[in-house]
Amino acid sequence: ARANWKDGFAAFGVNLGRNKVSTDDARWLLFQLGTSFSLLVLFFIVINRSLNHYISARVDYEIGINHFAPYCDYLVINISSPNTPGLRSMQRRADLEQLLLHTKYVLDHMKLETPPKMLLKIAPDLIDSEKKDIAKVVLNPKYGIDGLIVSNTTISRPASLVSDKRAESGGLSGAPLRQMSTECVREMYKYTKGQIPIVGCGVLLRSSSPWVSSHRKSKLHDSLVLSLMFDFLCASYLFSRGFFQIKRELAELLIRDGFTNVSEAVGADHRVKR
């Protein structure tokens, strides 16, 4: 079970049971979904390392790509879950380069007519030098990364978090992560010089904050606002409010700040004002 409480509206991603669904079962489900919808449906598949330490990380990701690449629009290479031992070490430059060379080779070798875009999901707890290293890697086309997802949950415990559960281990999301994740979007845009799409992830809360949060991250350089609307912690709030309300209120924020569309807002905080 995930620990939830109202103070600061946060949740720890600790003690979450791993899904027991096999890759074959998941692939069958994706095929059924893909052939059942007449509307436009975008499938994001997140590939994470398993807890099986007898299998190398590269093999784990290779299995995920081979199983799911034909059925999705975006593949996410997740190297930032705090609940998988050793996973975040894959964010070190040398390890990351080796991993991404392999994932690109695997995807290219499949020779798909329409291969999925490859996104990299990073943690918010990176130090400055690590962020710069990641930026250099993802900007190099030989590693095959089409965008960044910023960010996963944090292992830190901000001073703003007031709860008797703050000592629990695991990933923290929700309101206490807002400033850290937003700043991480800002810094990764700066280090990548706006040359690669950045997907803001997480920190969508109640009331008007989902649309405010998405607009704020867009101005920092969030190229895919849609992803902001499906945070795994807050989906129940968003679906109850309705997708069309999110779209309408986001449009109102854009007009308020003098933008005619989302594209104009992307990276606005980094552009020189004349």
The number of residues making up the chain comes to 274
Buried b (16+ CB within 10 A) or exposed e, 132-151: bbbbebbeeeebbbbbbbbb
With respect to residue 240, please indicate whether it lies within any of the assigned structural domains: no
Question: According to the model, what pLDDT value does residue 85 have?
Answer: 64
Burial class (CB in 10 A: 0-12, 13-18, 19+), 14: middle
With respect to residue 89, please indicate whether it lies within any of the assigned structural domains: yes
SS3 154: strand
Q: Are 68 and 47 a contacting pair, CB within 8 Å? A: yes
Question: According to the model, what pLDDT value does residue 129 have?
Answer: 93
* CATH classification of the domain holding 79: 3.20.20.70
Q: Tens digit of pLDDT per residue, the chain (274 long)? A: 233 333 444 433 333 234 445 555 555 555 554 444 443 444 455 555 555 554 577 888 898 898 888 888 888 888 877 666 666 677 789 999 999 999 999 999 999 999 999 999 998 888 999 999 999 999 999 999 999 888 777 766 777 766 766 667 666 666 667 777 888 888 898 899 888 888 877 554 443 444 444 445 555 444 444 334 334 434 444 455 555 666 777 788 888 888 887 777 777 777 655 4
With respect to residue 32, please indicate whether it lies within any of the assigned structural domains: yes
Question: According to the model, what pLDDT value does residue 103 have?
Answer: 95
Determine phi and psi for 194, rounding to 5 degrees. Answer: 70, 15
Q: How many domains does the chain have?
A: 1
Q: Are 14 and 169 a contacting pair, CB within 8 Å? A: yes
Question: According to the model, what pLDDT value does residue 30 have?
Answer: 54
Question: According to the model, what pLDDT value does residue 236 have?
Answer: 45
pTM of the full structure: 0.71
Q: Six-digit token pair at 252?
A: 């109102």
Is there a cis peptide before residue 151, judged by omega within 30 degrees of 0? yes
- Enclosing domain of residue 55: 15-203
Among 238, 205, 248, 204, which Cα is nearest to 222's?
Answer: 204
Question: According to the model, what pLDDT value does residue 23 have?
Answer: 56
With respect to residue 220, please indicate whether it lies within any of the assigned structural domains: no
With respect to residue 208, please indicate whether it lies within any of the assigned structural domains: no
Going through the chain in order, the beta strands assigned E by DSSP cover 3-5, 10-12, 44-47, 74-78, 117-122, 147-150, 172-174, 198-200
Question: According to the model, what pLDDT value does residue 113 have?
Answer: 94
With respect to residue 195, please indicate whether it lies within any of the assigned structural domains: yes
Question: According to the model, what pLDDT value does residue 179 have?
Answer: 77
Q: Are 75 and 47 a contacting pair, CB within 8 Å? A: yes
With respect to residue 210, please indicate whether it lies within any of the assigned structural domains: no
Q: Six-digit token pair at 55?
A: 């299998």
Question: Catalytic one among 36, 38, 56, 81?
Answer: 81
Question: 263 catalytic, yes or no?
Answer: no
With respect to residue 274, please indicate whether it lies within any of the assigned structural domains: no
